[in-house]
């Protein structure tokens, strides 16, 4: 099949590479000539394991074409996916300007045949019907269209395998022919098929992300109880998770969730609920607990650290990505700097992104984890990159002014840390 993907962020570029890898011809439309040139050269721009190889392979095979122009791409395509960003506005609602702008451009370039236009961007319920109105208003009489919602569930860091082997393929449309075409396009993908109407598909994405955020905030809430009562959160949640109805997956406490999806999607679902006069206090509590988790972590540091120099390992909102959007590390560093600390930090991928938003000279970024430790009064581990799992205990103790470790992801065994001579602070484990 020939398809077009508008946007080349995480969802757009990974989807494009995977569809091309499965033998489809994929046009990718962007608006930055500089970024398009890098993509044409095989540079994926974003950090995602395995993506560069897949991009180069499919460029070479001629199945991936990057362009600024809608004309040829849209005319040739049976399906056009919209994957542009839907960032949160100040009030938490999703900003749909880019989606609607792209819909206009698609409409003006449709050929005479039937085309499915499908939002892969996460959009509030009802957005696809607005897209349909824009398409119908701006298209030529000869062009026929149907809209569909085809949400994507990939995670950063494992985006390719998530896309190649999805748990489910959700296709929402009120048009039978559109559903048939999308089922055919996805025929090579494993996973269950969920064929449904438009609003259900739109809501599935928000409900999924919000449910995951609920699990994380619940784990963090229980950790708050553990901190005050002497209970061990990992043992509590292990036992809770042994109940098959609950499970342990995605119930790991820490310094809260970040990234481009959970914070924005919980806020957008809250906003939609408010507009529908639904009581959204549960979603508001999820967000509140998420912020409280990182605040409590810094409070603990301020209470226990004597000196004014802090070492940090891990800045990305999760391992295997350079993404720092809504990352707990940003809040933590900014608060420490405000409190008069100097911070020396290391991350395998995200340092240049942090420097773009924190220019304070009291934040030093170092090229190697152990370089951050010399002369620091405590080590804070904020992202569970694999390279931090095995500590060189002697080195850490030798380099730090005092052997104090704040583990924001419960990576280390408290008993072992104690035996190794550390003053150790985990999450909900003291």
Kindly write out the interface string for residues 138-167 of this chain, putting x where it contacts ligand UDX by CB under 6 A and - elsewhere.
---------------xxxx-----------
* Least distance from ligand UDX to the Cβ atom of residue 155, Å: 4
Q: Does position 332 bind ligand UDX by CB under 6 A?
A: no
Helix (H, G, I), strand (E, B) or coil at 389: coil
Comparing CA positions, the residue from 254, 366, 385, 356 lying closest to residue 311 is 366
In whole angstroms, the minimum distance from the beta carbon of 109 to ligand UDX comes to 29
Among 19, 257, 422, 424, indicate the residue that binds ligand UDX (CB under 6 A): 257
**What is the C-alpha to C-alpha distance for residues 275 and 291, in angstroms, rounded to an integer?**
24
Indicate if the alpha-carbon torsion angle 357, 361, 366, 371 is positive or negative.
negative
User: Is 261 designated active site?
Assistant: yes
How far is the CA of 227 from the CAs of 90, 221, 230, 335, 426, in angstroms?
Answer: 33, 10, 6, 22, 9
| Residue ranges in 276-327 assigned as alpha helix (H) | 281-304
Pairing of strands 168-173, 79-82: unpaired
Phi-psi region of 250 (alpha: psi -120 to 50; beta: other; left: phi over 0): left
Token pair in block for residue 414: 């408290």
CB of residue 212 vs ligand UDX: minimum separation in angstroms?
Answer: 6
Nearer to ligand UDX, 8 or 139 (CB): 8
Q: Looking only at residues 204 through 223 of this chain, which bind ligand UDX when binding is defined by CB under 6 A?
A: 209, 212, 216
Q: Answer yes or no whether residue 251 interacts with ligand UDX by CB under 6 A.
A: yes
Q: Which is nearer to ligand UDX, 153 or 425 (CB)?
A: 153
Q: Does 422 bind ligand UDX (CB under 6 A)?
A: no
Active-site residue among 17, 150, 226, 261? Answer: 261
Site for ligand UDX in 270-329 (CB under 6 A): 317-318
Q: Which two tokens stand for residue 31?
A: 């608006």
At closest approach, how far in Å is the CB of 255 from ligand UDX? 8
* Residue 330 within binding range of ligand UDX, rule CB under 6 A: no
Which of these segments, 65-73, 82-90, 259-267, 351-359, binds ligand UDX (CB under 6 A)? 259-267
Under the binding rule (CB under 6 A), the answer on residue 399 touching ligand UDX is no
Closer CB to ligand UDX, 168 or 335, in the complex: 168
Binding-site residue total for ligand UDX (CB under 6 A)?
18
Contact assessment for residue 349 and residue 322, using Cβ atoms and an 8 Å cutoff? yes
Burial 70-103 (b: 16+ CB within 10 A, else e): beebbbbbbbbbbbbbbebeeebbbebebbeebb
Cβ distance 54 to 120 under 8 Å?
A: no
Active centre residues (catalytic): 261
> What is the binding site for ligand UDX (CB under 6 A)?
153-156, 209, 212, 216, 250-252, 254, 257-259, 261-262, 317-318
């Amino acid at each position: 099949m020939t398809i077009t993907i508008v946007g080349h962020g995480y969802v757009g570029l990974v989807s494009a590479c995977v569809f091309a890898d499965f033998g489809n011809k994929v046009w990718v439309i962007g608006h930055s000539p500089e970024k398009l040139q890098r993509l044409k050269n095989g540079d994926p721009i974003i950090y995602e394991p395995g993506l560069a190889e897949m991009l180069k392979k499919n460029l070479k095979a001629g199945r991936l074409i990057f362009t600024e122009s809608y004309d040829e791409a849209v005319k040739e395509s049976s399906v056009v996916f919209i994957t542009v960003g839907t960032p949160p506005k100040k009030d938490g609602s999703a900003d749909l300007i880019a989606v609607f702008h792209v819909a206009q451009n698609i409409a003006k370039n449709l050929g005479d045949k039937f085309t499915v236009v499908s939002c892969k961007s996460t959009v509030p319920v009802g957005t696809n019907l607005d897209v349909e109105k824009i398409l119908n208003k701006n298209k030529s009489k000869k062009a026929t269209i149907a809209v569909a919602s085809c949400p994507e569930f990939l995670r950063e860091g494992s985006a390719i395998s998530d896309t190649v082997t999805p748990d489910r393929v959700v296709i929402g449309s009120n048009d039978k022919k559109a559903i048939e075409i999308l089922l055919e396009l996805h025929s090579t993908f494993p996973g269950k098929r969920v064929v449904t109407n438009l609003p259900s598909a739109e809501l599935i994405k928000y409900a999924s992300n919000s449910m995951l955020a609920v699990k994380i905030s619940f784990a963090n809430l229980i950790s708050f109880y553990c901190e005050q009562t002497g209970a061990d959160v990992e043992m509590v949640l292990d036992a809770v998770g042994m109940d098959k109805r609950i499970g342990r997956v995605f119930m790991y406490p820490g310094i809260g969730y970040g990234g481009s999806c959970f914070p924005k999607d919980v806020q957008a679902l809250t906003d939609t609920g408010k507009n529908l006069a639904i009581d959204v206090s549960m979603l508001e509590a999820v967000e509140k607990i998420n912020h409280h988790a990182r605040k409590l972590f810094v409070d603990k540091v301020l209470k226990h650290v004597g000196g004014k120099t802090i070492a940090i390992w891990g800045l990305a909102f999760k391992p295997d990505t350079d993404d720092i959007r809504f990352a707990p590390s940003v809040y933590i560093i900014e608060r420490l700097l405000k409190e008069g600390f100097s911070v020396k930090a290391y991350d395998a991928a995200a340092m240049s992104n942090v420097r773009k938003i924190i220019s304070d000279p009291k934040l030093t970024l170092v090229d190697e984890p152990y370089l951050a430790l010399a002369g620091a009064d405590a080590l804070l581990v904020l992202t569970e990159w694999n390279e931090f799992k095995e500590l060189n205990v002697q080195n850490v103790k030798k380099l730090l002014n005092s052997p104090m470790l704040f583990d924001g992801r419960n990576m280390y065994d408290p008993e072992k840390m104690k035996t190794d001579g550390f003053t150790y602070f985990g999450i909900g484990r003291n």
